[in-house]
């Protein structure tokens, strides 16, 4: 633990559970001032209370990142509270589990609105302040943003879009000290599979995989904080994640079959 992040102002979206919650806790441990948001205000307030009682400087806001006005309000609230923004962690995201041919288009639209537009909106309003502090913008994407996942077409599309957006933003700001980190976890212990949308738009409600041996959200959060401190460009997490990104470059057709077979073996797989 060091003091590099002491009194830095950090915003974390999608922070009511999983990686987002773990990021709030990890940045707070580094003595940063943390503004965090999600739609579940009761869970957010519980996290806020717990961390405040431990002496951390944190504040929660109810925010739906798919709504432009709420993203702007989040950034304005952070500025009103602390006067600056040093780090933005775009973590809010939802997934899906359905074949594209079966999925209601509203499912794809919702994923793009939360995963892609949520990142764009928050980044747009926070960027002028982060440029002033030579700060960092983090996109918590996925290995699905490097090679499409079957049954997750909308999710993969949104993550590819986020990767492209952040890479473009990085190049546009080459002459500034803006730092952009693309963090791509592999399969991680989180709530994302339980809340994944089915073809009809309803949450799946359970996880189809054994999460016992998956990387914990806490480890992902530590990696993200380390990536910010070292101002890394990209981090690919989990062995399977690193392997999939590598194989996508050298034997993509083989990787297609591996992904297909893996997803087809899941309980209640959408593959017929």
Q: What does the DSSP assignment read for 216-268?
A: PHHHHHHHHHHHHHTT-SEEE-SHHHHHHHHHHHH-HHHHHHHHHHHHHTSTT
In a domain, 1, yes or no: no
Total of domains in the chain: 1
In a domain, 2, yes or no: no
In the chain, the N- to C-terminal Cα span, in Å, equals 50
Catalytic site includes residue 155: yes
**Which residue among 121, 129, 155, 206 is the active-site one?**
155
CATH assignment at residue 76:
3.40.50.720
pLDDT score of 152: 94
Q: What is the pLDDT of residues 60-83, one digit of tens each?
A: 999 999 999 999 999 999 999 999
**Residue 263, burial from CB neighbour count under 10 angstroms (0-12, 13-18, 19+):** middle
Write out the residue range of the structural domain in which residue 139 sits.
9-264
Q: What is the pLDDT along the chain (272 residues), one digit of tens a residue?
A: 668 999 999 999 999 999 999 999 999 999 999 999 999 999 999 999 999 999 999 999 999 999 999 999 999 999 999 999 999 999 999 999 999 999 999 999 999 999 999 999 999 999 999 999 999 999 999 988 988 999 999 999 999 999 999 999 999 999 999 999 999 987 776 667 578 899 999 988 766 666 666 788 999 999 999 999 999 999 998 777 888 888 888 898 998 998 889 888 888 888 86
In a domain, 77, yes or no: yes
In a domain, 4, yes or no: no
Nearest C-alpha neighbor of 65 from the set 78, 75, 51: 75
Nearest C-alpha neighbor of 160 from the set 149, 171, 170, 172: 149
Nearest C-alpha neighbor of 34 from the set 76, 83, 70, 87: 87
In a domain, 251, yes or no: yes
In a domain, 209, yes or no: yes
In a domain, 201, yes or no: yes
Q: What is the DSSP string of 146-212?
A: TSPPTT-HHHHHHHHHHHHHHHHHHHHTTTS--EEEEEE--SBSSSTTTT-B-TTS-B--S-SS--T
In a domain, 234, yes or no: yes
């Amino acid at each position: 633990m060091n003091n590099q992040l002491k009194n830095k102002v950090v915003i974390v979206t999608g922070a009511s559970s999983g990686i987002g919650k773990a990021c709030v806790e990890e940045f707070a441990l580094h003595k940063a001032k943390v503004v965090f948001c999600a739609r579940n205000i009761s869970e957010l307030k519980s996290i806020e209370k717990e961390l405040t009682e431990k002496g951390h400087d944190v504040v929660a806001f109810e925010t739906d990142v798919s709504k432009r006005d709420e993203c702007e309000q989040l950034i304005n609230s952070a500025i009103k509270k602390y006067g600056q923004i040093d780090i933005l962690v775009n973590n809010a995201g939802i997934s899906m589990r359905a074949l594209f041919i079966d999925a209601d288009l509203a499912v794809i639209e919702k994923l793009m609105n939360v995963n892609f537009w949520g990142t764009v909106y928050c980044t747009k309003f926070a960027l002028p302040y982060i440029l002033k502090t030579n700060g960092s913008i983090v996109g918590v994407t996925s290995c699905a943003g490097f090679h499409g996942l079957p049954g997750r077409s909308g999710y993969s599309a949104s993550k590819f879009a986020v990767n492209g957006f952040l890479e473009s933003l990085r190049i546009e700001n080459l002459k500034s000290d803006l730092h952009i980190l693309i963090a791509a976890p592999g399969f991680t212990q989180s709530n994302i599979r339980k809340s994944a949308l089915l073809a009809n738009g309803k949450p799946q409600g359970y996880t189809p995989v054994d999460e016992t041996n998956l990387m914990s959200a806490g480890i992902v959060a530590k990696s993200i904080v380390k990536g910010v401190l070292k101002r890394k460009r990209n981090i690919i997490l989990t062995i399977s994640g690193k392997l999939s990104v590598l194989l996508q470059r050298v034997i993509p057709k083989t990787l297609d079959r591996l992904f297909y077979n893996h997803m087809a073996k899941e309980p209640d797989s959408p593959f017929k």
